[in-house]
Amino acid sequence: MSILVFAEHDNNTLKADTLKTVAAAQAIGGDIDVVVAGLNCQAVAEAAAQINGVNKVLVADNAAYEHQLAENVSLLVTELASDYSHILATALTTGKNFMPRVAALLDVAQISDIIAVESADTFVRPIYAGNAIATVQSLDSKKVITVRTTGFDAVATDGSAEIIAIAQATDAGTSSHVSDELTVSERPDLGAAGVVISGGRGMQNGDNFKLLEGIADKLGAAIGASRAAVDAGFVPNDMQVGQTGKIVAPDLYIAVGISGAIQHLAGMKDSKVIVAINKDPEAPIFQVADYGIVGDLFDVLPELESKL
């Protein structure tokens, strides 16, 4: 078997999530190549070459791939696919965007968001917002898979794979990039942080998220939010944790003023330790919390910050 892993990056740095997708590839077993598609992405290729267990790093360095437009990237990956039995991407917004196109172009199904590998053709994935776990056997000759990073531990970066430039430069010509509006933050990535502290509707406004920042600074935490907090405009969309936001599984997750709707739990209930701060003792979040404090967050947060 031979597996192609698509590298997640921003043309400058390789996202650590790729190391988890390679872990899924290793669980499947076989030769593993990584493809880096971008513009001026040599540094990413060099980082990818250090991923443990990778054979070759294929680099498609071309303007057509600068913004990872799905129309172009899917054509590239489909062209490369003939050499591989499995094609894997991380189940983040880039992979979710282009991979189903690859699957359709190859006339195969896609297995989305796998959290475990049973065998080379059988995979485990959550359905119904994580309220059921499905084991699915693919009947297709080629497997197109996206990998949920919370299911796999990152592999080491002690390798030295060969880097090969590839000439592909397919521009479908139907889409173009207009602009990005990216959130700049000094804090760790939500997906990578060991500690996450999230605020919900109970925070009342965006200013009050400052109460979480002091604690996040002390714990080296990332800050997340419920959908209600994002919808109310307290914080930007990229902070949303849940079924349709980011899926996180840190060592410690602190939910503040969050009721614990199914859709929110879907994004955090695999965290090692969950703490809930909520003034309503009946809030469903307490059913999944290891430690709960029933109280007003405006009293609890300043005290917590001072005692850490």
Partner 1 sequence: MKVLVPIKRVIDYNVKVRVKPDNSNVDLANVKMAINPFCEIAVEEAVRLKEAGTATEIIAVSIGDKSCQEQLRTALALGADKAIQIDTDQNLDSLNVAKLLQKVVEAEQPQLVILGKQSIDSDNNQTGQMLAALTGLPQGTFASEVKVDGDKVNVTREIDGGLQTVALSLPAIVTTDLRLNEPRYASLPNIMKAKRKPLEVQPAADFGIDLAPRSTLVKVSPPSERQAGIVVESVDELVEKLKNEAKVIS
- Residues at the interface with ligand FAD (CB under 6 A): 200-202, 226-229, 240-245, 257-259, 261, 263-264, 267, 278-280, 283, 296-298
Amino acid found at 252: L
The DSSP output letter for 9 is: B
Residues 141-160 that bind partner 1 (CB under 8 A): none
Among 28, 42, 143, which residue's Cα sits nearest to residue 85? 143
C-beta of 195 vs 276, nearer to ligand FAD: 276
Among partner 1, ligand FAD, none, partner that 195 touches (CB below 5 to 8 angstroms by kind): partner 1
The DSSP output letter for 155 is: P
Write down the least CB distance from residue 53 to partner 1, Å. Answer: 25
Of 9, 20, 86, 246, the residue at the interface with partner 1 (CB under 8 A) is 246
Tokens representing 283?
Answer: 């809030």
Report the C-alpha gap between 53 and 143 in whole angstroms.
Answer: 20
Tokens representing 83?
Answer: 């050499």
Amino acid found at 107: D
Write down the least CB distance from residue 96 to ligand FAD, Å. Answer: 14
Tokens representing 27?
Answer: 């669980």
Amino acid found at 152: F
Among ligand FAD, partner 1, none, partner that 77 touches (CB below 5 to 8 angstroms by kind): none
Asked if 107 touches partner 1 (CB under 8 A), the answer is: yes
Among ligand FAD, partner 1, none, partner that 105 touches (CB below 5 to 8 angstroms by kind): partner 1
Using DSSP bridges, classify how beta strands 122-127 and 116-119 pair: parallel, antiparallel or unpaired.
antiparallel
Report the C-alpha gap between 282 and 259 in whole angstroms.
Answer: 9
Give the range of 27-35, 49-57, 123-131, 196-204 binding partner 1 by CB under 8 A: 123-131
Asked if 42 touches partner 1 (CB under 8 A), the answer is: no
Asked if 286 touches partner 1 (CB under 8 A), the answer is: yes
Give the range of 24-32, 41-49, 153-161, 168-176 binding partner 1 by CB under 8 A: 168-176
Sign of the torsion formed by the C-alpha atoms of 208, 213, 218 and 223: positive
